Chain A
Amino acid sequence: MWEQVSELLLLVLGSALVSNVVLSQFLGLCPFLGVSRKVETAAGMGTAVIFVITLASGVAGAVYRFILVPLGIEYLQTIVFILVIAALVQFVEMFLKRYMKGLYEALGVYLPLITTNCAVLGVALTNVQKEYGIFTGIVNGFATALGFTVAIIILAGIREKMEHNDIPEVLQGMPIVLLTAGLMAIAFCGFSGLL
């Protein structure tokens, strides 16, 4: 029992901090750079990503285990996963709109943006590649998304402060954000001593 719990904890630390999804695997860079101007929107995006990735890794894991493997068509995983994820996001959006108005108003705008987030597909594929079970896959998905949220909120915080700074003309806009992300990536390299 304890061994399993500590194994899962190690997995969470590893996926969230050590091999951070944006800063060391470069998945989900578009929303990371595009929606990080304000802490508030960054937090909203992060919450939506946690929600969708956790759900998607569960559903994709189940589809793989109970449909693709019995039929012997594992090689179709890329096609099936992308369709499952797109359908899932649509479905979640409709469900929230109908039954959970408050949550929909908080997350609604971010949901369509997430369909095309490569982190969602990336996590589903990683779970299969590393042969995680469905539960471990969900934990891995949650931890990965948590890492994304931590990174995007930190970046948004730095960008808010940076707005009042005197930045050289050529570096204004994306270059300075990329430099910041690079420095954050160096900081996150420090976590590799944790495991």
Chain B
Amino acid sequence: MNKKESAGERLLNGIIVENPTFVLTLGMCPTLAVTTSAVNGLGMGLTTMAVLALSNLIISLLRNIIPDKVRIPAFIVIIASFVTIMQLLLEGFLPSLYESLGIYIPLIVVNCIILGRAEAYASKRPALLSLFDGIGMGLGFSLALTCIGAVRELLGAGEIFGVRIMPQSFVPISIFVMAPGAFFVLAALTAGMNAVKKAGEKRGRDMSRIRTGCDLDCSHCGQSAGCTKPEKEG
């Protein structure tokens, strides 16, 4: 990173340049599981954003105190604490969202994006930048989840945010709000990214930043730092 880093640049970076879902393909489990509607996607995205921003802030503040050897467990404890706080807050104040997100709220702990940012960014940079990096990444993630949720809701129920969009004659393709639809939507998305990448390469631009999921295994997420030997397949 040789560009000048500022709070604004960090926000933009998370939302567009390094969008965690569309560009980095991180955190796919929650992306598929909770995007049955735009509201669910937005709720999940904002919850993740809160955890990401706060854990980035704390990890950055503690970066000189945590010994290098135990940093991954330390990060996990910090992240898990914030996830528990968010879980209790949601249960208390937004019970309907808590119900519909269910088990995927505690599972934010194992979301690759959060530990990945802690390891790649917050553990090396000053607190304010890390906070804004977390907010930017979180907004990018929320945006992506809301878009995917909106597409699935539109095709599967003819509505977006519960408002009817499609004409009455439209027959909802309910498979899109069921489990298989999530795979199909993500397949279309990665195919689109493939196409963008190929087009860019033809014009001679460096598109290596966009990962099109061939490495969708965990080897590029921060957590693999704890893995001694990621599998090599022939």
Which residues of chain A have a CB within 8 Å of any CB of chain B? 23-31, 33-35, 37-38, 41, 75-79, 82-83, 86, 109-110, 112-113, 115-118, 121-122, 125-126, 129, 169-176, 178-179, 181-183, 185-186, 189
Which residues of chain B have a CB within 8 Å of any CB of chain A? 28-30, 32-33, 73, 76-77, 80-81, 83-84, 87-88, 102-103, 106-107, 109-110, 112, 175, 178-184, 186-188, 190-192, 194-195, 198, 212-219, 221, 223-224, 226-231, 233-234
Given contacts A35-B231, A75-B88, A182-B183, are A29 and B103 in contact (CB under 8 A)? no
How far, in whole Å, are A44 and B204 apart by their CA atoms in the complex? 41
* 20 more A-B residue pairs beyond the given contacts A112-B226, A129-B103, with a C-beta to C-beta distance below 8 A: A26-B33, A27-B107, A28-B29, A30-B28, A33-B216, A34-B217, A76-B84, A78-B84, A79-B80, A83-B77, A110-B231, A113-B231, A117-B110, A125-B106, A170-B192, A175-B187, A175-B188, A175-B191, A179-B187, A182-B180
Is A113 touching B218 in the complex (CB atoms < 8 A)? yes
Residue of A nearest to B227 (CB): A112
Residue of A nearest to B182 (CB): A26
Is A27 touching B29 in the complex (CB atoms < 8 A)? yes
A-B Cβ contacts below 8 A, count: 158
Residues in B whose Cβ lies below 8 Å from that of A170: 191-192, 194-195, 198
Jot down 29 A-B pairs with beta carbons below 8 A, ordered by A.
A26-B29, A27-B29, A28-B29, A30-B112, A30-B218, A34-B219, A37-B233, A38-B234, A78-B80, A78-B83, A79-B77, A79-B84, A82-B109, A109-B231, A112-B230, A113-B217, A121-B110, A125-B103, A170-B192, A170-B195, A170-B198, A174-B214, A174-B216, A175-B187, A178-B186, A181-B183, A182-B184, A185-B179, A189-B179
Residues in B whose Cβ lies below 8 Å from that of A27: 29, 33, 107
How far, in whole Å, are A35 and B102 apart by their CA atoms in the complex? 28
Is A24 touching B179 in the complex (CB atoms < 8 A)? yes
The 3 nearest A-B residue pairs measured at CB: A34-B217, A182-B183, A174-B213
